[in-house]
Structure 1
Amino acid sequence: MVFCINNKVNEKIKSNLEPGTEQGILKRILFEWRNISILLFLYTLQGVPNGLAGSIPLLLQARGTNYSDQAIFSLVSWPFNLKLLWAPLVDAIYWKRMGRRKSWLVPVQYLIGVTLLFLSFHVDSLIDSLEIWVLTALMFFLNLLIATQDIVVDGWALNLLKRENVGLATTCNAVGLQIGRFIGYGLFINLASPDFSNKYLRTVPKSDVGVVTLSGFMFAWSIIYFVCTTLTFFCKKEKDADPEIENAEVDEDKRNITITSYLRLWRIIKLPAVQNCLIFCLTGNVVGLSSFIHDLKQVEAGLSKEVLAQLSVPLAPLGLLITVLMTKWTSGVRPMSLFRNTYGLTLLSTVIFAAMVPVTGFLNNHGTFPWWYFPSLLGIDIFATICFTCTGVAQVAFITKISDPAYGATYATLFNTGINVGAIGSVAVSLWLVDPLTVKSGSSDGLCSTVFDGYYVETIACVLIGVSWFYFWGNNAITELQAKPESAWKLGTVRDECQPV
């Protein structure tokens, strides 16, 4: 296993690198290949349950659930908005002998394995009987653990990699999560589909089930979690903490460590640079406000959900490729320049998305479409994936670059929470506003017809707001944020930060 291989390769590469010279991307990856592999695998583990949580609504829909129940189940994503509440505890409370990050990572991942194991015995019956509240509570708890694991791994990444290579953590995050989500969503949906299984995987067709079930899939991944967590516990040793941090922690023991952790969070939020970056994280994703309901409108226009799922399959490896190719920019000193250069294209992709909905309705002939329609739709999806991946990865890369390694979990979680609140809040707002913004007119026979769909009102508003945001504030904000010195993002010396307020 990668955790247990000796350091000879690292030492050989290190000896060939001259101090102070700029390392090429390939050399930097080779130099940190073991730590990069660990981060990549941990983020992949995190992505699988996320993908499963995204696939369950499709299973519920197939069993006739209504949109009210789907809205209830959407609550399972909220732990990622709330994780800032306990992130300071993850930084502050740990067993020194085990390590700051492993003290949380190991028990949390074992709990994730136990939760998946428990769900494997009950999830199918809960879905069949539409026990929405129970299912939501269990998946909420699972995502609570996943969000905690995300805090730990984000913080560990800042210490696991050398400071000059910390930008590579962004690539590990994006690639690992995409692999995991593809396994939990795209791969699972196809393997669980009777049609796909009968057509491509079976010699003797069965009409009712695919080659895997949700319960069996969860059981398999619970075992994988147990095995991988055990290997992490025994085979990966954390680096010793910085002496300055350890000495400050002795002082912290004299006070209530919980209070100290939240006071530290408040000090971080009070930093002017952090406040500006938080505003950017909260507002920078308004461009995607209307794009979240694009798939719903496509289904409403006559495109089947199965076709949408199949179109998403090639987008997963594309997202991985884009993330790797963007490493040259995201691991540099100005990763947000990538956001600046692709933001306009992201706005354009939102407009194209909206334009395809009436085209789908016009071309729909009882569920069939011209031969050129699907390649065109895939091309548009590819274009949008490139745009949204570039802007998203650029934000995460910048956050990783500016986060103080001493309190990495708190910093990374603070900024990621800002991004999540902006994105998930956009989903809620866009869904809630569609009907009020839709203009309808009545006819003499008592039927109502749609004059102008609220989805298009949202799209126009998003584009106008996005252009105004970038022109009047966003572009200048990127320049100012990237020009700030490293000291602007830090609290000062760790010992001074721990003095009474």
Structure 2
Amino acid sequence: MDRSLKTNSLASHDVPQFYLLVALYLLQGIPVGLAFGTIPFLLKSMAKDTSFTTLGLFSIATYPYSLKIIWSPIVDSIYSKKSGRRRSWIIPIQLISGILLFVIGSAISKGIIFSGVDDAFHGRNGGIHDLNILSLTWYFGVLVFLCATQDIAVDGWALTILSKQSLTYASTAQTVGINMGYFLSFTIFLSLNSNDFANKYFRSTPKDHGLVSLGGYMKFSGVLYVLLTFYVMFNTKERPLEDVLPVDISKKKDDEAKVMIEYGDGDAVGTENTSSIIYTYRSFVKILRLPTVRTLAIVHLTSKLAFQCNEAATNLKLLEQGFKREDLAVTVLIDVPFEIIFGYYVAKWSSDNDHDAHHGFSRSSRCVRWLVGEKGVLTPWLWGFLGRLASAILGSFVVKAFPKDGQITTPYFLLVIVQHLLGSFMSTIQFIGISSFHTRIADPVVGGTYMTLLNTLSNFGGTWPRLIIMSMINYFSIYECYVPATNNKYQYRGNGMESCTKGLMGKVSVVRDGYYITNGLCVVFGILLYFRFLKRKAQQLQSLPVSAWRCE
């Protein structure tokens, strides 16, 4: 084997495939950014009386992304041999997604769906009104379902479109691509959608709307989907270099010799079993029966509870208190270069830790060992957990320190940036660390199913608690409604803001904020979970041989 294959760098022959993966994951990030970030922000900023329970109900739209393992064996088994196992799904799913994005975007522009959100762009008045949260959840849930199905196929393709030398960078492509799409749909869109942001930085004559409407952005995204689908359709193969590889370099002269490029065998299994749904579901059950996978499942399903309140509600609480959404978007925008630039180095860090652990070079100080144990492939994931825990603690302080007069000072704005940067960057560290671990242990014979199972467990760990967390915030919150017309005061829990402000024409004040109680419970749970369970289990899992993750 050529010496270059022993390095952790991205091979030059894999660069086109790497950028293609980034583009495919970027498209995934568009619906994800809308459903996970933009829509809740628009609801809370344009209709401040939207309850956290309502936002929790909308979070159901994100569930398909965390439950895709249910139909991943179908995606892994049914395909056209002419198009290829992964392209058979990527091409039609992206085409349907693009059309649906365009149709929903057109309906939003006309006020048929999400009434009022784009009124200012089309000369209509009223703002958000007659909101049917269940219908809105359904429309975006379908988009996320299609996005999740594409993710199954792309995850499986990443195992075979890159050579084994560059497999570590599949997680880097995923992180960079999804984050770029997410920030495009969330941070950049919210900034350009804000009339205050547009008037301040781009216009000499103020207007009552921003530069980009939600409907217009979704239609534009739909066109991007279709264009990239055409590229995949006409300019890619299932195997990028299958017509010239492998090459036996022992039979070539030195000046004609080519490096042997070794690919994963996830698509190379041509037996009838791999095209059988029954076989794939049986493999799925076998994977779940592995003790190692069951332990990893428990880790995934419990670990993100620690920072769920912070990541789901801290920014929304800032909006509720009067922080402008365009300013909040700027704090997120600052994070983009960190996500893109340092994603590469985090992947290399994870790869180096794995290499050192397998060669007996694991050394660390007593303090480091107490915090994260001995060095290994999951060390970045453990550091990321501690960082996100610190961000959750800082989140409560940021909300508590919000200026009483509503005037955002520079020191406070910097504090918000630091808190968000800490949380998002540590989340990226965890994501790349665990994705590298998944890539290392996944059995390529059922590559799509195995990878999707592991990623699903990780994603679902951050999705299933959200409705519960939002409901807890509402449950623990007590508000007071003062009605000037009658000079009466009423106390209620978190679901009565709309009836107070619109029905009774009253003024709302907070008696007890359930956010602090809920976030405190999450943080305490996270500290106990980490030092009594997660750290020890991560040490055990990273030390196991790859054979412990294989089905017989």
Q: Specify the TM-score bucket, using the shorter chain as the normaliser.
A: 0.7 to 0.9
Partner in structure 1 of residue 27 of structure 2? 45
Distance 2:58 2:469 in 1: 17
Distance 1:289 1:356 in 2: 16
Kept after mapping to 2: 8 A contact 1:123/1:135: no
Of residues 373, 376, 379, the one that matches 2:412 is 373
Q: Is 1:339 the equivalent of 2:381?
A: yes
Kept after mapping to 2: 8 A contact 1:322/1:389: no
Distance 2:401 2:521 in 1: 21
Aligned residue identity for 1:178: N
Q: Is 1:478 the equivalent of 2:541?
A: no
Partner in structure 1 of residue 522 of structure 2? 462
Change over 3 Å in CA distance of 1:370–1:281 after alignment to 2 = same
Matched position secondary structure for 2:208: coil
Distance 1:469 1:133 in 2: 35
Q: Could you tell me how far 1:336 is from its partner in structure 2?
A: 0.9
**Structure-to-structure mapping, 1:48-447, within 5 angstroms:** 48-53=30-35, 54-61=37-44, 64=47, 66-67=50-51, 69-124=54-109, 125=111, 126-128=113-115, 130-203=131-204, 205=205, 207-239=207-239, 249-251=271-273, 257-291=276-310, 292-332=312-352, 333=354, 334-360=376-402, 363-365=403-405, 367-437=406-476
Of 236-245 and 263-272, deviating more is: 236-245
**For residues 156-175 of structure 1, what are the alpha-carbon distances to aligned partners after superposition, in whole Å with 9 as ceiling and x for unaligned?**
11111222421111111111
Aligned residue identity for 1:95: S
Aligned residue identity for 1:118: V
Distance 2:266 2:489 in 1: 76
Kept after mapping to 2: 8 A contact 1:352/1:380: yes
Distance 2:377 2:287 in 1: 22
Kept after mapping to 2: 8 A contact 1:63/1:128: no
**For residues 178-200 of structure 1, what are the alpha-carbon distances to aligned partners after superposition, in whole Å with 9 as ceiling and x for unaligned?**
11111112222222222222332
Aligned residue identity for 2:379: S
Q: Could you tell me how far 1:22 is from its partner in structure 2?
A: 2.6
Kept after mapping to 1: 8 A contact 2:8/2:165: no
Q: Could you tell me how far 1:52 is from its partner in structure 2?
A: 2.7
Gaps of 5+ in 2: 117-130, 243-262, 355-375, 481-487, 492-508
Change over 3 Å in CA distance of 1:227–1:305 after alignment to 2 = closer
Matched position secondary structure for 1:284: helix
Change over 3 Å in CA distance of 1:181–1:485 after alignment to 2 = same
Distance 2:264 2:429 in 1: 34
Of residues 6, 18, 21, the one that matches 1:36 is 18
Aligned residue identity for 2:77: A
Matched position secondary structure for 2:349: helix
Partner in structure 2 of residue 14 of structure 1? none
Aligned residue identity for 1:207: K
Change over 3 Å in CA distance of 1:245–1:134 after alignment to 2 = closer
Aligned residue identity for 2:182: R
Aligned residue identity for 2:533: W
Change over 3 Å in CA distance of 1:57–1:22 after alignment to 2 = same
**For residues 433-473 of structure 1, what are the alpha-carbon distances to aligned partners after superposition, in whole Å with 9 as ceiling and x for unaligned?**
224445899xxx96669776433333333333222222222
Matched position secondary structure for 1:99: coil
Kept after mapping to 2: 8 A contact 1:174/1:323: yes
Change over 3 Å in CA distance of 1:66–1:245 after alignment to 2 = closer
**For residues 336-382 of structure 1, what are the alpha-carbon distances to aligned partners after superposition, in whole Å with 9 as ceiling and x for unaligned?**
1112234333322221111222211xx321x2133322122212222
Q: Could you tell me how far 1:301 is from its partner in structure 2?
A: 4.0
Aligned residue identity for 1:157: A
Q: Could you tell me how far 1:266 is from its partner in structure 2?
A: 0.5
Aligned residue identity for 2:136: L
Report sequence identity in percent.
29
**For residues 305-361 of structure 1, what are the alpha-carbon distances to aligned partners after superposition, in whole Å with 9 as ceiling and x for unaligned?**
34322322212222223322212123342431112234333322221111222211x
Aligned residue identity for 2:385: Y
Aligned length: 465
Name the Cα RMSD after superposition: 2.8
Of 426-435 and 233-242, deviating more is: 233-242
Distance 1:131 1:435 in 2: 20
Kept after mapping to 1: 8 A contact 2:305/2:526: yes
Q: Could you tell me how far 1:21 is from its partner in structure 2?
A: 5.8
**For residues 8-54 of structure 1, what are the alpha-carbon distances to aligned partners after superposition, in whole Å with 9 as ceiling and x for unaligned?**
xxxxxxxxx824863142xx243421111111111111112222333
Change over 3 Å in CA distance of 1:401–1:280 after alignment to 2 = same
Distance 1:111 1:447 in 2: 50
Matched position secondary structure for 2:7: coil
Q: Could you tell me how far 1:226 is from its partner in structure 2?
A: 1.5
Distance 1:427 1:88 in 2: 27
